């Protein structure tokens, strides 16, 4: 596949902090795409390594910052003080405060769920907590951990960790392999390198694929993952789709089906860092679910959203994936469960796109990790 890169268009307003060498300032620029010009609007700035974005019913936004802070962003882009009540996080390397999602009943129960690297006596582990948000007092109440990985190896990499509610109100949690413990991704008694599915109280749904199977953890939905940092429900099928980081190559987009094995680290397109030698047995095996798409070299994907809005009707049904290393937004055109085309957007901005969300206004919203900004794509 040979992606078509967008053509550059003149910068309209050059504001904000200095960008990476050769990059264009991210605020209020127009970029050309295959579907026509699109405006990139800066909505907020001043965040410290933003990781996840959620939209509150009143039009404000909730944002996590990896060092361990959660803030509310007003419609005018102003940042609140940090919300009190966030538990201590292991803010080292790739760890810290990670994803946040609202309860499907947030309008009445004010409940949210967030994932983070939870410090332990031995090291740290990916955990998920639920809490009630008092937005007026900027405080989390009744904070309770509802899930935590059953292993807490040392190290500061590969935590996951995206949260997605399915149509039945169950919660998918993506869990990294913690890098040096990658072989545990194939061990059914370990939470490392897995996707799990739990109820909002942390209990196990009765239709989970590994429930009551000897030696299998009941929360497991799928296994053989490396570091899943993007996940979303397919708008037509309701199936979970996810992408994950490969090592040197082998980033994957997967249709995550119950009980399936996605191969890591036995079957992968990736290769070892530095030496570039082969990992595992090869790139395919009959009992391993193949990826819908793989990127080699690695783009370092993060954040993901299916587009269903009306602001960009030409993009309806497309899948959008942010990229850290390649500093772009990938637009994937689907035909059923196949990717038939890729367009790479925003390459001229030089921004590490950490999260991708469709807002209630039908526009695409992005977290720019490079300079701590919230960006919005608007029709031009």
What is the full DSSP assignment across 133-181?
EETTTTEEEEEEEEEE-S---S-S------EEE-TTS-EEEE----STT
Half-sphere exposure of 95 (CA within 13 A, CB side): 24
Q: What's the pLDDT score for residue 13?
A: 28
CA 374 to CA 355: how far, in whole Å?
Answer: 10
Is the residue at 321 inside a domain?
yes
What the block records as the tokens of 288 is 């391993």
Q: What's the pLDDT score for residue 355?
A: 98
Is the residue at 247 inside a domain?
yes
Q: State phi, psi for 67 to the nearest 5 degrees.
A: -60, -10
Q: Cis before residue 320, ω within 30 degrees of 0?
A: no
Q: State phi, psi for 278 to the nearest 5 degrees.
A: -65, 145
- How many helical (H) and strand (E) elements, i.e. helices and strands, does the chain have? 1, 24
Q: What's the pLDDT score for residue 27?
A: 56
User: Can 191 be counted among the known catalytic residues?
Assistant: no
pTM score above 0.85: yes
Residues in contact with 85: Cβ distance below 8 Å, sequence separation at least 6, in sequence order: 131, 139, 140, 141, 143
Measured between alpha carbons, how far is residue 63 from residues 113, 324, 329 in Å? 12, 18, 20
Q: What's the pLDDT score for residue 28?
A: 81
- For Cα atoms 354, 259, 228, give the angle at the middle one, nearest 5 degrees: 10
Give the number of other CB atoms < 10 A from CB of residue 144. 10
What the block records as the tokens of 253 is 């987009």
Rounding to the nearest 10 degrees, give the CA dihedral for residues 40, 42, 47, 52.
-50
What the block records as the tokens of 74 is 């007003």
CA 5 to CA 262: how far, in whole Å?
Answer: 30
Is the residue at 67 inside a domain?
yes
Q: What are the mean pLDDT values of the chain's consecutive 10-residue runs (380 residues total)? A: 34 33 60 96 97 97 98 96 98 98 97 98 96 98 98 96 97 97 97 98 98 94 98 97 97 98 98 92 97 98 98 97 97 97 96 97 97 96
Is the residue at 29 inside a domain?
no
Cβ-based burial of 142 (10 A; exposed 0-12, middle 13-18, buried ≥19): exposed
Is the residue at 62 inside a domain?
yes
Q: What's the pLDDT score for residue 276?
A: 87
The number of domains in the chain is: 1
Contact 250, 267 (CB under 8 A): no
Domain residues for 312?
A: 45-379
Is the residue at 90 inside a domain?
yes
CA 87 to CA 120: how far, in whole Å?
Answer: 13
CATH number at residue 106: 2.120.10.30
Residues in contact with 243: Cβ distance below 8 Å, sequence separation at least 6, in sequence order: 228, 229, 230, 231, 251, 252, 253, 254, 301, 304, 321
Question: Which neighbouring-strand residues pair with 241?
Answer: 232, 255
Contact 153, 181 (CB under 8 A): yes
Give the number of other CB atoms < 10 A from CB of residue 124. 25
Residues in contact with 187: Cβ distance below 8 Å, sequence separation at least 6, in sequence order: none
Q: Which of 2, 90, 157, 158 is catalytic?
A: 158
Is the residue at 185 inside a domain?
yes
Is the residue at 268 inside a domain?
yes
Q: What is the DSSP letter of 108?
A: H
């Amino acid at each position: 596949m040979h992606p078509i890169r967008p053509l550059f268009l003149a910068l309209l307003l050059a504001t904000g902090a200095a960008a990476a060498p050769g990059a264009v300032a991210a605020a209020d620029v127009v970029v050309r795409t295959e579907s026509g010009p699109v405006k990139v609007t800066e909505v907020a700035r001043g965040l410290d390594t933003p990781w996840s974005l959620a939209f509150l019913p009143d039009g404000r936004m909730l944002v996590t910052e990896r060092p361990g802070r959660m803030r509310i962003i007003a419609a005018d882009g102003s940042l609140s003080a940090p919300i009190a009540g966030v538990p201590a996080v292991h803010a080292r390397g790739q760890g810290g405060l990670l994803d946040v999602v609202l309860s499907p009943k947030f309008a009445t129960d004010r409940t949210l769920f967030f994932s983070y690297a939870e410090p332990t006596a031995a090291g740290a582990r990916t955990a998920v907590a639920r809490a009630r948000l008092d937005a007026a007092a900027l405080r989390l109440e009744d904070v309770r951990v509802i899930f935590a990985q059953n292993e807490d190896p040392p190290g500061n990499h590969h935590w996951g960790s995206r949260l997605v509610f399915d149509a039945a109100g169950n919660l998918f949690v993506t869990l990294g392999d913690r890098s040096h413990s990658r072989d545990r991704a194939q061990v059914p008694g370990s939470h490392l390198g897995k996707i799990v599915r739990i109820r909002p109280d942390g209990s196990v749904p009765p239709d989970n694929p590994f429930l009551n199977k000897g030696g299998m953890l009941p929360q497991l939905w799928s296994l053989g993952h490396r570091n899943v940092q993007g996940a979303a429900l397919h708008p037509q099928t309701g199936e979970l789709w996810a992408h994950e980081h490969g090592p040197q190559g082998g980033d994957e987009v997967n249709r995550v089906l119950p009980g399936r094995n996605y191969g890591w680290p036995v079957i992968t397109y990736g290769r070892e860092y530095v030496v570039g030698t082969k990992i595992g047995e090869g790139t395919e095996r009959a009992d391993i679910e193949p990826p819908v798409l793989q990127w080699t070299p690695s783009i370092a994907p993060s954040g993901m959203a299916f587009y269903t809005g009306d602001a960009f009707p030409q993009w309806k049904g497309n899948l959008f994936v942010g990229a850290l290393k390649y500093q772009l937004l990938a637009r994937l055109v689907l035909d059923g469960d196949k990717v038939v085309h890729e367009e790479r957007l925003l390459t001229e901005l030089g921004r590490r796109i950490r999260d991708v969300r469709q807002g209630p206004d039908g526009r695409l919203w992005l977290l720019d990790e490079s300079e701590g900004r919230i960006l919005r794509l608007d029709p031009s």
